[in-house]
Amino acid sequence: PVIHFASMAFPEPVGLTDGIAQAIRRLLDELCAGLELAGDGARGLVLSLFEPDGKYRRIEVRASRPSRDAAHLARLFETHLDDIDAPFGIEAITLAAPAAEKMNTIQAGLIADEDQTRSKDETNQLIDRLANRLGAAHVVRFAAHESHIPERAQRIIPALSEARRQDPARWPASPRPTLGPHPTPGPRPLRLLSRPESVEVMAPVPDDPPVMFRWRHVLHRVARADGPERITPEWWLAGNDSDGDNNDGARLRDYYRVEDNKGRRFWLYREGLYRPDAPPAWFLHGIFE
């Protein structure tokens, strides 16, 4: 792969932070021009500062997405400049982009919503600045995870991770086909509770949707319901049983989308199969907003 590179040597060692910052901006302008010609963007940059006594130091920054925005990349270095301790000054600087990726070229006239695109760019740049200032491990994001169990369908990873980014609204409702009355996965609520909460349910027939339920001491009368969508445990994992507890306590679930008489919509599920001696438990797992 092509490593984009720029360098600068000073006639006299430079010791002032402002002078080093100006040099970095000039190098970034040169390097980003090369990135643009190649159709690339930098995911990471390495700045090397050489001192007259033979010592040198490296500063590395990373971006959440490929970038050739010189002003944005310069801001990623700003928080590191105060840490430079070079009593004899800096006599040369090199800047390399070893982690470069192809960037998609989008014509401005074809963008459906330029304000939305600009907002996403600003959000990504804020993430980059925070991650490079606080440390990559301290700024995280959600990523899709291959599991049809709702609470396992996402995972938390560092925001600067090179794992494929995807808009959560476009995540598949279920990566694996479900079994039961509704084999096609239904809509998922954007808000999942951190843990499903137990609810008291009244249903005229054991396998029917509830007509009312009590959650957090509040009674909700169901105006309409859709379901069930059956989600089975991940039987291919050790310890799973289609109607028993596994190592995570997951059991067969029948999910219902219900709306109460005030228009509030909830995602409930019945856990386990109905047995006369052991009626199934009901839980509220999410809220549609």
Is 141 a member of any domain?
A: no
Q: How far is residue 171 CA from its own chain's centroid?
A: 11
Cα separation of 144 and 163, whole Å?
Answer: 10
The pLDDT value given to residue 170: 46
Is 110 a member of any domain?
A: no
> End of a domain among 105, 131, 157?
105
Number of domains in the chain: 2
Mean pLDDT to the nearest integer, 235-244: 55
Max CA separation in the chain (angstroms): 89
Is 74 a member of any domain?
A: yes
Per-residue pLDDT tens over the stretch 280-289: 899 999 999 8
Is 169 a member of any domain?
A: no
The pLDDT value given to residue 249: 42
> What's this model's pTM, rounded to 2 decimal places?
0.63
Q: With residue 72 as reference, give the H or E element that holds it.
A: helix 70-81
CATH number at residue 97: 3.30.1490.100
Give the confidence band of 75 by pLDDT, cuts at 50, 70, 90. very high
Per-residue pLDDT tens over the stretch 37-54: 999 999 999 999 999 999
> End of a domain among 105, 123, 142?
105
Parent domain of 283? 191-288
228 preceded by a cis bond (ω within 30 of 0): yes
